[in-house]
Amino acid sequence: MAQLRGLSDHCPLLLVASEENWGPRPVRMLKCWRDIPGYQLFVRTKWNAMQVAGWGGFVLKEKFKMIKAALKEWHQAHSQ
């Protein structure tokens, strides 16, 4: 936020460094999942099978929501 200059030819800036809470992340991906056989095929198949109507941002949000649930089930089945 720029402050008033006053008599100076410089315009001081006030920086605010606060963390924003955006809520939970839409999807968490663990690097170790890439090493499990069938992971990439699973994600690609699930993602392409999802049919969501609407504008691009809405479709992306809904697909993230659905892939999150699918990955949660997949992780539980493959982590044991």
Residue 4 within a domain: no
Residue type, 30: L
Residue 49 within a domain: yes
Report how many domains make up the chain.
1
Residue 68 within a domain: yes
Tokens 């997949």 label which residue?
74
What was the pLDDT predicted at 9?
Answer: 67
Residue 66 within a domain: yes
Residue 35 within a domain: yes
Q: Alpha-carbon distance 54 to 47, whole Å?
A: 16
Q: What is the pLDDT along the chain (80 residues), one digit of tens a residue?
A: 555 656 666 767 777 777 777 777 767 777 888 888 888 899 999 999 999 999 988 999 899 899 989 988 988 887 76
Tokens 């504008």 label which residue?
55
Residue 14 within a domain: no
Contact, 65 vs 26, CB < 8 A?
yes
Domain holding 45, by residue range, is 31-78
Residue 37 within a domain: yes
Residue 65 within a domain: yes
